[in-house]
Chain A
């Protein structure tokens, strides 16, 4: 009996590794990934990074300009998150199993959330740029649409998890729909929802770099400008400022999470 377990475990892992190797080889062929170049370029990148990718004295002159762009980007990320939160909360209340009005609406709400979440941020950004051109509104709207899908799904899960029993209890006492929402569902899901909001702000600041690269706005545009003009000292300064911002925001978020949860 004992040996059977070991034999089975061995067979399972053999099949697993065989599949893994098959998929790996398939992926390497299909993406034309050069394995040896992967290793050598990793080393090369570190050597290059050490010798070129650090801010020097001259690059510090761009600091005020970059800081202003960074501040704009942070504001945009927060604004996109909060506005998306309002819409996502409404849709999540419709979509959640415990608070839905009927099955059909819930299904539609979940469908909308899934659609918005799975349309890549890149697609939002590029299509919005066609009409809104190179303005900060483009970046803001792209982040808003992406956050909306993500937050709706997260909020639906939160409401489903948190508020099953109390909703039943309250509806048994004859509380109205809005009483149930405002007295039970929202208060009990609020800490978890705020945790998601904080996560979204943090994600949006990093995604804002990507959107900025594509649409020519915010901090992503600054990086792109210096990067493409081979001014790597300045580009590295931008990266360092982004890292400091993200880490600071994460620290604040973690402190808040510790207090509220």
Chain B
């Protein structure tokens, strides 16, 4: 009798999973309330600042105009940013390819994969702007520091993505090739890379999308060339809201194109996995 009752009315048990989730959400909410209460609101007139900001956004989005930059200049600046993003992705991809092979559990010994994974986690923990600024001391502010600094995060992201793509290759394929006398490099170039090439390209493109956003940020914060620098100059020095609008529209247009492509690529990877 009891069994049937349970089957009809399953009481939702408080499992370890849901308990963890609720505690986490509670802790985050409490911290948020504390943080919002601790903000010093007296230093700014909130109402006025809000109204000003809304006004500024209105100018930015509804009255974009070119003053200092011509439309062609703005377009060329976006191209420079794209170039920075491309170089970053390329360097990151090449290094990550090697590290990815060493971090894949079916291709390298466990100690090696652990070392690589630790290294990659460390790279990721340093914000990308700090990598760029640290390199800027040696290379000077500019495209060299931006590209090298941003390459670090690309390496860490792509190493993880690549090694996971490599790990999808069935162990038996590698064993069959080993049994037939193929050496490590032959296995890599004849089996591992050809079988994962489409997901490698998709991941690389997704990183390119992220790198584009990063390159914009580095233009503003680390004096690298490109559209981000114009954004910084217009808002920090010229206070030219209308031109900020123009620059923002250019960035959004390019970013949305990249986003659309990478969303399509991502759904392709998911279909392949499913």
Contact = CB atoms under 8 A, between A and B. Distances in A.
Q: Is the interface of A mostly helix, strand, loop or mixed?
A: helix
Contact of B259 (A75, A117, A133, A239): A117
A135 B80 CA distance: 32
B125 A79 contact: no
B129 interface: yes
Interface in B53-96: 53, 56-57, 60, 79-80, 82-84, 86-87, 90
Interface residues of B, number: 79
A209 interface: yes
Contacts of A227: 133
Given A31-B80, A78-B32, A114-B259, A210 B127 contact: yes
Contacts of A31: 80, 83-84, 87, 143, 147, 225-226
A27 B122 contact: no
Nearest to B41: A137
Contacts, number: 215
A209 to B, nearest CB: 4
Which one of B80, B134, B226 has the highest number of Cβ atoms from chain A below 10 Å of its Cβ? B134
Contacts of A114: 256, 259
Given A45-B137, A259-B20, A122 B144 contact: no
Interface in A174-227: 190-191, 194, 197, 206-207, 209-210, 213-214, 220, 223, 227
Interface string A61-103: 0000000000000011011011100000000000000000000
Nearest to B19: A259
A28 interface: yes
Interface in A103-147: 114-115, 117-123, 126-133, 135-137, 140
A121 B221 CA distance: 11
B125 A246 contact: yes
Nearest to A230: B137
Given A28-B87, A206-B127, A126 B232 contact: yes
A78 B259 contact: no
Given A31-B87, A127-B57, A207 B127 contact: yes
A163 B56 CA distance: 40
Contacts of B44: 132-133, 135, 137
Interface of A: 9, 20, 23-24, 26-28, 30-34, 37-38, 41-42, 44-45, 48-49, 53, 75-76, 78-79, 81-83, 114-115, 117-123, 126-133, 135-137, 140, 190-191, 194, 197, 206-207, 209-210, 213-214, 220, 223, 227, 232, 239, 242-243, 246-247, 250, 256, 259-260
Sorted nearest first, the 5 A-B pairs with minimum C-beta distance are A41-B139, A27-B83, A126-B235, A45-B138, A131-B52
